[in-house]
Structure 1
């Protein structure tokens, strides 16, 4: 039995026993993500994982880290905390998967103004769900109670993931060529970036998040809290069926910042905006805020959570594989000779 407690620390705003209760509540959720390589369970000083290198000639570790950002403000307003953990995982594992890697494990960091064990467990439930979707294990984390630093009902959430890929199977744009086709893979909405602009533009408050919008079939708050899609398994399925040469995860900075990251020198991305449907939420944001179209494509994913590059002859196979994986894909452009960058028309 854990005998650690401190009335003095509790009087200062930190209740260590609440932390123990939170761990007790989250333990089954965490263990539900465990994969073959996990060693031990919660409570150690480090998360242990034994990677399996069988079948790999030159294994490469790939890591990614990120947080949820100001999308958390929506969770506070709606008192709904069981989905933002999916966003936290997605923002890390999708980046890793762009290299062709399989995420192995994830660790989270949650900082709270006051530790409400059930609330923290709800946050971790979302993280665990994200890990299950990505096929990786949640092997550890940290919950920090920080009174006076965060308001009692607010928190921050971040994390990182480590994955692995055989060097021969890395997706790194080294074979990218002119006339390779660009395929957009549909997003689930705004995902987890640009929320400072979203909140300012739409006047997000306790009243506005409850407004039901017929076009969405849900409230504005529910639409904006839709979790980021996790593309790990879809990418793996497509890569097994077609020759995927490069992938871009469309996050903060939109198309103008992220698409060039998938290109090699001497190639530009020529993208036709009308080739892919834009979810209604982006129209609402743009019209309400009178935001220039270029700024929209420089901030949001505009309906494309991923952009994949494949050889022209592989486009149909890639589109079929995307559909088999349960996602929607659209040919949105091609690679062309020119200065490295992106042209949207």
Structure 2
């Protein structure tokens, strides 16, 4: 027997905090964004229960490569500064750059957006960034999920996750196994802090009493700190089509010190020259305002290098020239050496 009085009004999902109509409106806003990312292979996209994709027939022995990630605490600044249009680019970049290092072409991407109360305008801005990231990477946004979960997140906040799937010819997988002493290390410029180290960034901003609108070398600090992660996919794939690249490393959490060793065999080390590239002013400011040690800077941040390529020394100039033709800023930042006993696998000096 129900304990509710006979006069109690019937409850709806909206009464519980979930607005189905808002969710439907968001889907309609997303559809034209997703259509801009369509590419060969898409058989069914946004709106179905599952998204269908056919592996391109140009591959003789295709190997699928997948990656997943989020945006991390950079979202806290998106909430505080009401800037939601670029974190979707970050989301895509973190996955497509990861699978790129094994030589994979990005094929498709799916996102997951979770919130307590759905704001169609905010969610559309976020997914607009996701679609833009997919365009930059040349992959299709073919599906995703929007979850409105009252009580799970405070009003105005959300979480993001996503994953990318790519393909590489089996014979062309890049695994770093051919890297040897004497090879050159090229560094591709980052667009800023990308999407790593933001717990420390936020701590430094708080200590410095920084304001999002304050001037930073002619730009609002908000735009510099929130600059989206650079997507290297099309540019690096163009270089791979013309040159032999032995190893690639995406410089994410752990910086140069932790990510370059992931492609090095035991007994090898990367000797990098700190003065070989231009470190963006943002990192100098963060180091100064936070009193951050130099080694800690290179363990937490990319310090201006978002992607590393290892090539034969004789090929370095040609590979760098091709990457520059594709719009990248590239420096020769070091070389591969034999690792000495007790020496870390990446040294920045």
Is structure 2 residue 41 aligned with structure 1 residue 40? no
Structure 2 counterpart of 1:160, from 154, 160, 163: 163
- C-alpha distance in 2, partners of 1:161/1:204? 37
Deviation at 1:45, TM superposition (A): 1.0
Is structure 2 residue 127 aligned with structure 1 residue 141? no
Q: Which residue of 2 aligns with 1:210?
A: 213
Is the deviation greater in 309-318 or in 200-209?
200-209
Q: Which residue of 2 aligns with 1:50?
A: 54
Is structure 2 residue 213 aligned with structure 1 residue 179? no
Aligned with 2:270: secondary structure?
strand
Relative to the length of structure 2, the TM-score reads 0.94
CA contact (8 A) 1:253 1:298 kept: yes
RMSD: 1.5
Is structure 2 residue 141 aligned with structure 1 residue 150? no
- C-alpha distance in 1, partners of 2:53/2:61? 19
Q: Which residue of 1 aligns with 2:24?
A: 20
Deviation at 1:240, TM superposition (A): 2.1
CA shift in 2, pair 1:205/1:16, >3 Å: farther
Relative to the length of structure 1, the TM-score reads 0.95
Aligned with 1:286: secondary structure?
helix
CA contact (8 A) 1:25 1:118 kept: no
Aligned with 2:300: secondary structure?
coil
CA shift in 2, pair 1:27/1:206, >3 Å: farther
CA shift in 2, pair 1:101/1:109, >3 Å: same
Q: Which residue of 1 aligns with 2:7?
A: none
- C-alpha distance in 2, partners of 1:205/1:292? 17
- C-alpha distance in 2, partners of 1:179/1:53? 38
Which structure 2 segments of 5+ residues have no match?
Answer: 1-9
- C-alpha distance in 2, partners of 1:177/1:119? 49
Is the deviation greater in 155-164 or in 109-118?
109-118
Deviation at 1:77, TM superposition (A): 1.9
Q: Which residue of 2 aligns with 1:327?
A: 328
Deviation at 1:46, TM superposition (A): 0.9
Is structure 2 residue 224 aligned with structure 1 residue 223? yes
- C-alpha distance in 2, partners of 1:36/1:58? 18
Deviation at 1:53, TM superposition (A): 3.2
- C-alpha distance in 2, partners of 1:132/1:164? 17
CA contact (8 A) 2:34 2:131 kept: yes
Deviation at 1:133, TM superposition (A): 0.3
Q: Tell me the matched-pair count.
A: 337
Deviation at 1:7, TM superposition (A): 5.5
Is structure 2 residue 66 aligned with structure 1 residue 63? yes
- C-alpha distance in 2, partners of 1:172/1:41? 32
Note the 1:265-276 alignment, pairs <5 A.
Answer: 265-276=266-277
Deviation at 1:265, TM superposition (A): 2.1
Is structure 2 residue 307 aligned with structure 1 residue 314? no
CA contact (8 A) 2:208 2:289 kept: no
Deviation at 1:243, TM superposition (A): 1.3
Deviation at 1:58, TM superposition (A): 2.0
Higher alpha-carbon Rg: 2
Is the deviation greater in 157-166 or in 113-122?
113-122
Which structure 1 segments of 5+ residues have no match?
Answer: 1-5
- C-alpha distance in 2, partners of 1:210/1:147? 32
Is the deviation greater in 42-51 or in 281-290?
42-51
Is structure 2 residue 92 aligned with structure 1 residue 89? yes
Deviation at 1:57, TM superposition (A): 3.2
Deviation at 1:204, TM superposition (A): 7.9
Deviation at 1:41, TM superposition (A): 3.1
- C-alpha distance in 1, partners of 2:113/2:157? 11
Note the 1:254-333 alignment, pairs <5 A.
Answer: 254-333=255-334
